[in-house]
Structure 1
Amino acid sequence: MAIDYTIDYDCIPKQQLTTEGIRERLKGAERAALIINQYREAGDMRPPSEMGYEFTRRTPEGAEETRIIVVQDVLNDAADLEPLTPHCVGCPANRTGNPFGCMGYVGYPISEAGEAWLLDRLPVPDEALVWLLLKQGVDNFQYDGQQIAFLRQNNDAYFEARRAAERRLGEFSLNANQVFEMFFTVGDIIPNHAGILLLFFRAIDRDIEADAIIHLTPAGPDVADRHPFIIQSEPYDDVTIRDLKGFLEALYIAWALNVNLLVDA
């Protein structure tokens, strides 16, 4: 399980296979490789056409539906991606530099270190403009974190910690449930919202004037000079921190391109 995201930049692969079609094929290819490896490690050398696995999904009506998937069928579907990979070379939305690098995910379970890392990036009262924006946003949109708290308390698959990390920010506190609600329960993230989130989590420099905040979006062609992405990967990052940094970078690219970041949590 994971929180999937996609930079919604129009391209030929998405036109031909759709965003969902590409993502399903990528996931299928990963799943097929895992199944094949499991068979081989068990000494089973049968071809993929004779391998299968159960796949359970929830229908729109809320019922669970289980199907038997043949690995070769999945590989056949994934083969549709190969002729489209040249379009990813040089694409401005390609975050990773790999084929279909406009797509990524934040994996579950979310680590305690990842929660703490996000909270540590929030503004304090000394950063008055952005801090006030954060406080107003939490109040106006009533981010209470209850949706995330329910997941945390009822299923160990989503979070390592049963208790959300919390940080005091002057006259109010914010916990990790509220932070994840801001990110992942609002649907697709439009550029205006993306720009503010980038400020909140110090993905771009917060030392800017009020007028610059007002005109933060659209980012403009000189965005890399005026508002560079300032988060760097570190060798000691745990998996969640690495994934969250990737998410914020994707959010930055979507904002810079003035397109939505599609989020499927």
Structure 2
Amino acid sequence: MSIEYVVARPCAVKNDLGGDEAFLRACTWRLMARTAKREARKKNLRFEEVKLTHRIVSLDGVDQVVEPLSDILEEAARFEEKTGPCADCPACVLDETAGCFGTVGYPVTAEAEQWLYDRITGEVEPWAARGWREFWKGARADPARIALLRSKGDDFLEGKSAWGLTATSGGRPFTLNANELLAALFAAGSLKPADALMLLGLLGALDPDVDPEDEERPVIGVSEAENGETEEKLAFDIYPEPYDDPGICDLKAYLFALFFAAALGVELQVSL
């Protein structure tokens, strides 16, 4: 079980499969196939004997869909045959093939969730705070979905408290709670480049101190001048650490994909 996401850059693979949603489903099935094959081999089971249970979360509850492993393996094999163009794709940042796809594994640990909140400093950039308020004007995500996950034991979220956080922004109070933050990150369905920049700025994931001589570091150009030139460049500023909790590793990869979606000017599609 996991949160699945994909950098929604148009490509031949997605077009061949029928769009972003079909691509996301195919990547999910490939992941399920890899996991199930590994577990089946450990238990000396024949693949045709194995069935997988896939959980689908909605405000009405958690539904379970049972799929034979043999069907999933067939779908995964057909998908692998189509991934040749991934080698030259700039969105392929998380893996060698279909590297625009990633997951945040369930359960999200309390440590990983705390890591997110700790990134929101006492002073939030005014532009990020404005973006946060604009995001919620459109009812883009429902924190009730996160509350539902918290109510399901430790299957989805280990942290049971949707505690609030108070910071400041431009001299004004800035408040949010845990369910709102996770809903904005994972429950909107899709995040536009402006949403991505807002969330990355809120979480202190952007570095404005970019060395113009450093051509290896990926950057986002923002704040265009009247003549169309970029006034400021922001680099991704979160790095993996050897002591990271696996859940923190997943969140860092997610934010990295969010950064690249914004840099490429495309949405990040997310399936909670």
Identify the TM-score tier after normalising by the shorter chain. Answer: 0.7 to 0.9
Residue number in structure 2 paired with 1:229: 236
- 2:253 corresponds, among 236, 243, 246, to 246
Matched-pair contact (CA < 8 Å) for 1:112–1:165: no
What is the Cα deviation at residue 137 of structure 1? 4.7
% same residue: 31
Residue number in structure 1 paired with 2:6: 6
What is the Cα deviation at residue 42 of structure 1? 3.5
Q: Can you give the 5+ residue segments of structure 2 that lack an aligned partner in the other structure?
A: 210-219
Counterpart residue identity of residue 245, structure 1: K
Residue number in structure 2 paired with 1:215: 223
Local SS of the residue matching 1:6: strand
Return 143-152 or 249-258, whichever deviates more: 143-152
More helix by share: 1
Structure 1 residues 131 and 21: CA distance shift in structure 2, 3 A: closer
Matched-pair contact (CA < 8 Å) for 1:116–1:165: no
- Separation (CA, whole Å) in 1 of partners of 2:125 and 2:62: 48
CA-to-aligned-CA distance 1:119-169 (integer Å, 9 cap, x gap)? 1222433x5524643674587568894442233134431211211354331
Q: Choose 1 or 2 for highest CA Rg.
A: 1
Local SS of the residue matching 2:51: strand
- Separation (CA, whole Å) in 2 of partners of 1:34 and 1:79: 14
Structure 1 residues 226 and 59: CA distance shift in structure 2, 3 A: closer
Local SS of the residue matching 1:5: strand
Question: What's the C-alpha RMSD, in Å, of the aligned pairs?
Answer: 3.7
Name the TM-score, length of structure 2 as normaliser.
0.76
Counterpart residue identity of residue 71, structure 2: D
What is the Cα deviation at residue 53 of structure 1? 1.2
Structure 1 residues 139 and 93: CA distance shift in structure 2, 3 A: closer
Residue number in structure 2 paired with 1:21: 22
Structure 1 residues 182 and 27: CA distance shift in structure 2, 3 A: closer
List aligned pairs for 1:139-158, cutoff 5 A.
140=137, 145-158=143-156
Structure 1 residues 202 and 164: CA distance shift in structure 2, 3 A: same
CA-to-aligned-CA distance 1:58-82 (integer Å, 9 cap, x gap)? 699999675552x333322222233
Structure 1 residues 222 and 15: CA distance shift in structure 2, 3 A: farther
Name the TM-score, length of structure 1 as normaliser.
0.78
Residue number in structure 2 paired with 1:189: 191
Structure 1 residues 175 and 213: CA distance shift in structure 2, 3 A: farther
Matched-pair contact (CA < 8 Å) for 2:105–2:250: yes
Q: Can you give the 5+ residue segments of structure 1 that lack an aligned partner in the other structure?
A: none
Matched-pair contact (CA < 8 Å) for 1:152–1:159: yes
More strand by share: 2
Residue number in structure 2 paired with 1:106: 104
Residue number in structure 2 paired with 1:199: 201
- Separation (CA, whole Å) in 2 of partners of 1:38 and 1:144: 35
